[in-house]
Structure 1
Amino acid sequence: MSKYLLNKFLFTVDRDPELVERYRTEPEATVTWWEETQANRILGCIDDERSTWLAFTDEERRALREHDHVALFGMGAHPFLTLTLFIALFERDHPEPMSYQRGYAEALAHIALPYPDIAT
């Protein structure tokens, strides 16, 4: 499992409005495309600079494809990265102010301290 790769996915998708929409409507295709083309790009480097070993586990892939923020949090994905991306994905589906954020928090309410380690 790579918390770094999970967080890199959340970070890079959240920074691109077109990718946010693609991830919202086609999560499986977006995760597959991102893993094949973006996962091994080194942040901040030229496009030709790549590593070769990063890949999601089956569990990570499933959680990303299913938009399962509870499972991602349990794997150590940073909660701020998850929350900001998921607000971009789903807040529009909740007409009441802060209703998505409350639902997000309620889904995590069963998790007690100590929280999963979010260090990468």
Structure 2
Amino acid sequence: MSKYLLNKFLYTVDRDPELVERYREDPRGTVAWWEAERANQLLNCHTGEASTWLAFDDPEREALVAHDYVKLFELGAHPFLTLTLFIAAFERDHAEPLGFQKEYALRLQHFSLPYPDIAT
């Protein structure tokens, strides 16, 4: 498992409105494309340098595909990165203000300290 790669996905997709929409509408295709095309690019590096070994494991991939932010939290994804991406993707589906944030808190309320380790 690579918490780094998981957080990198959340970070990079959240910063591109087109990728947010693509992830919302076609999560399996977006995750597969991102893993093949972007996972091994170095962050903030535009010189063509890349690594060759990073890949999601099955639980990470399936949690991303299912938009399962509870599982992502359990796997150690950073909660701020998860929350911001899922707000961008799903806040519009809630009628009340802060509707998604309230749902997020409700679905994660069973966690108690210490939270899963988010160190990468």
Q: How many residue pairs end up in the alignment?
A: 120
Gaps of 5+ in 1: none
User: In 1, distance between residues paired with 2:53 and 2:32?
Assistant: 16
Structure 2: segments with no counterpart, 5+ residues:
none
Q: What residue number does 2:99 align with?
A: 99
How far, CA to CA, are the matches of 1:26 and 1:70 in structure 2? Answer: 19
Per-residue deviation, 1:48: 1.7
What residue in structure 2 maps to residue 115 of structure 1?
115
Q: What do residues 63-96 of structure 1 show as CA deviations (whole Å, max 9, x unaligned)? A: 0000000000011100000000000010000010
Kindly report the root-mean-square deviation, in angstroms, between the aligned alpha carbons of the 2 structures: 0.7
* CA offsets 1:7-50 (integer angstroms, 9 cap, x no match): 00000000000000000000000000000000000112225201
Q: Which residue of 1 aligns with 2:26?
A: 26
If the length of structure 2 is used for normalisation, what is the TM-score?
A: 0.98
Runs of 4+ in 1 over 6 A off after TM superposition: none
Q: Distance in 2 between matches of 1:47 and 1:68?
A: 34
Structure 1 residue 112: Cα displacement: 1.1
TM-score norm. by structure 1 comes to: 0.98
Per the TM alignment, residue 51 of structure 1 is displaced from its structure 2 partner at its CA by: 0.2
**SS at the partner of 2:56?**
coil
Partner of 1:8: 8
Tell me, in whole angstroms, the C-alpha distance in 1 between the residues paired with 2:93 and 2:18: 18
Q: Distance in 2 between matches of 1:110 and 1:48?
A: 43
Quickly say closer, same or farther: Cα 1:75–1:33, change in 2 above 3 A.
same
Which secondary structure state, in structure 2, belongs to the residue aligned with residue 42 of structure 1?
coil
Which residue of structure 1 aligns with residue 69 of structure 2?
69
Q: Aligned partners of 1:47 and 1:75: how far apart in 2?
A: 31
Identity between Structure 1 and Structure 2 (%): 69
- Is the contact between residue 31 and residue 61 of structure 1 (CA under 8 Å) also seen in structure 2? yes
- Measure the CA separation in 1 of the matches of 2:110 and 2:42: 36
Contact kept? 1:41, 1:47, Cα under 8 Å: no
